[in-house]
Amino acid sequence: MGLRLSRTALFLLLALVALAASRPDEASGVVLQVLDGESFEVQGFGLVKLADIDGPAMGTMEWVHAREYAMENLLGSQVFLDVDQGSETNLYGSICVAYLANANCTPNLAKNFNKMMVKAGFARLKDDPENEFDPSRW
């Protein structure tokens, strides 16, 4: 019984740690520029690289369409970001999951933009186990 309890406690602790690392409102800002379907610039934050998705090769028609979809949804709009704490920001930006905003300026959890790109057919899931995000839970 004691072992059982401590296992439950451990599980809860791990779940809490996971929750603490994964928050939809770690950063927020207006999208200034869309580079392509999986990277864009957020005012006051910098470059964002969408986590765990893989877009079409640059220069293809699919790439153009993916970029257009991102522009329609993101350009000039406020987004909320869950930033991957584990990875360092590099030339390509910070690894993030992006959420669109509700009318009252809170993150719209039903509009995970990484997932939207995949659902719309403009990217495929490509889970990187090194980051804090788990696409199977999107």
> What are the residues binding Ca ion (CB under 5 A)?
52, 82-83, 127-128, 131, 133
What's the maximum distance between 2 C-alpha atoms anywhere in the chain? 60
The least CB distance from residue 126 to Ca ion, in Å, is 9
Q: Which residues pair with 90 in a beta bridge?
A: 93
**SS3 call for 67:** helix
First CA to last CA distance, the chain: 34
Which residue, 67 or 113, is less far from Ca ion as judged by CB?
A: 113
The least CB distance from residue 47 to Ca ion, in Å, is 16
Q: Which long-range contacts (CB under 8 A, 24 or more apart) does 58-66 make?
A: 62/122, 63/36, 63/37, 65/122, 66/36, 66/37, 66/38, 66/117, 66/122, 66/123
The least CB distance from residue 100 to Ca ion, in Å, is 17
Which residue, 25 or 68, is less far from Ca ion as judged by CB?
A: 25
Which residue, 69 or 80, is less far from Ca ion as judged by CB?
A: 80
The least CB distance from residue 137 to Ca ion, in Å, is 10
Which residue, 62 or 128, is less far from Ca ion as judged by CB?
A: 128
